Amino acid sequence: MFGVHDVLMTGICFCKFHFRIFESSLLISRIIFAMNENLKLRRMAEAKLPTEFGHCLIVGFEEISSGRDHIALVYGDITTPDPVLSRIHSECLTGDTLFSLKCDCGHQLGATLSQIGQEGRGVLLYHRQEGRGIGLVNKIRAYALQDKGLDTVEANLQLGFKPDERDFTLCADMYKLLGVRAVRLITNNPLKVDILKKAGINVVERVPIEVGRNGNNDRYLKVKAEKLGHLFKNCNEK
Ligand SMILES: Nc1nc2c(ncn2[C@@H]2O[C@H](COP(=O)(O)OP(=O)(O)OP(=O)(O)O)[C@@H](O)[C@H]2O)c(=O)[nH]1
């Protein structure tokens, strides 16, 4: 004879089995979507994440060719037609987590999340291409050259890199995998806007973000404006 316990256990096993099938079919459909759209990334995992700026969904992506990972922090419903407030934030370990004053990255990250938190809707793409794509150790080498007088662009060139080695088409793919087609992009870098537009993302507005200027990064910000085309009211108008 079957007891209540047996019935319950059978029910639980049934649900677990079907949940696994559901999870696998979701993963397969995402892989097929990525292949159809010729995307360079797959959406791999997601979970709720409470933050100081509100509760969000953290989504993990993996580059198909290299396995390198990137993340998105999603606040509110970003799948509705209204353009989404968003920032592509390139990884900067020194600025984002170690309080470096050599750049403006940490301040930009905090200001963005605070702005998204106030609106209650938005997405931060955390683009893990540290040091404008040259990696952390090479960024330290570039800093060493800057200690000797080179600027941020000259240092990259001296090390054999382009001034900017990042691939922003990956970010367009992240937007597509998140169901975002129109964004209000928080950036001072017009190159990001151009690349996203060419990759099929409708950037309806560029939202400037001028925070974190100090005596240590003033020259760096000037060079970004003069050599990398960044738009700063304070520099460009001089
Ligand atoms: N190679 C190199 N990378 C740097 C240096 N300073 C900051 N970075 C990196 O630059 C990236 C951020 O790029 P930024 O040029 O500050 O800004 P952006 O992303 O182009 O534009 P915004 O959207 O306006 O912030 C991060 O990956 C930092 O690690 C440097 O002196 N040399």
Domain limits, the chain: 44-129+166-228
The pLDDT assigned to 21 comes to: 61
Cα–Cα distances in angstroms (integers) from residue 50 to residues 72, 92, 149, 183, in the given order = 14, 22, 43, 23
Confidence of residue 59 (pLDDT cuts 50, 70, 90): very high
Report pTM.
0.86
**Residue 75 pLDDT:** 98
Digit-coded pLDDT (tens) for 191-228:
999 999 999 999 999 999 999 999 999 999 999 999 99
Say what the pLDDT of residue 181 is.
Answer: 87
pLDDT digits (tens, 9 = 90+) for 1-55: 566 667 666 666 565 766 566 566 555 555 555 555 789 999 999 999 999 999 9
Q: Is 151 a catalytic residue?
A: no
Based on the number of CB atoms within 10 Å of its own CB, is 231 exposed (0-12), middle (13-18) or buried (19 or more)? middle
Distance 31 CA to ligand 1 centre (A): 31
164 is catalytic: yes
Going from the Cα of 164 to the center of ligand 1, the distance in angstroms, rounded, reads: 8
The ligand 1 site (C-beta within 6 Å) comprises 90-92, 103, 105, 108, 130-132, 134, 139, 142, 152, 156, 187-189, 224, 230
Which atom belonging to ligand 1 lies closest to the Cα atom of 88? 23
**pLDDT beyond 50 at 237:** no
Ligand 1 centroid to Cα of residue 3, in Å, is: 64
The pLDDT value given to residue 130: 98
- Please tell me the distance from the alpha carbon of residue 187 to that of residue 14, in angstroms, as a whole number: 49
pLDDT, position 114 = 98
- Residue pair 207/190 in contact (Cβ under 8 Å)? The answer is no
Provide mean pLDDT across the span 71-81: 97
Q: How many other β-carbons are positioned within 10 Å of the β-carbon of residue 188?
A: 23
Phi and psi torsions of 155, nearest 5°: -65, -45
Instruction: Give me the CATH topology for the region 44-129+166-228.
Output: Rossmann fold (3.40.50)
CA within 13 Å, CB half, 45: 6
Across 89-106, average pLDDT: 97
Angle value at C-alpha 66, between 64 and 67, nearest 5 degrees: 70
Which residue in 87, 141, 166, 173 is the catalytic one? 166
Q: What is the pLDDT of residue 30?
A: 57
How far is the centre of ligand 1, averaged over its atoms, from the C-alpha of 224 (Å)? 9
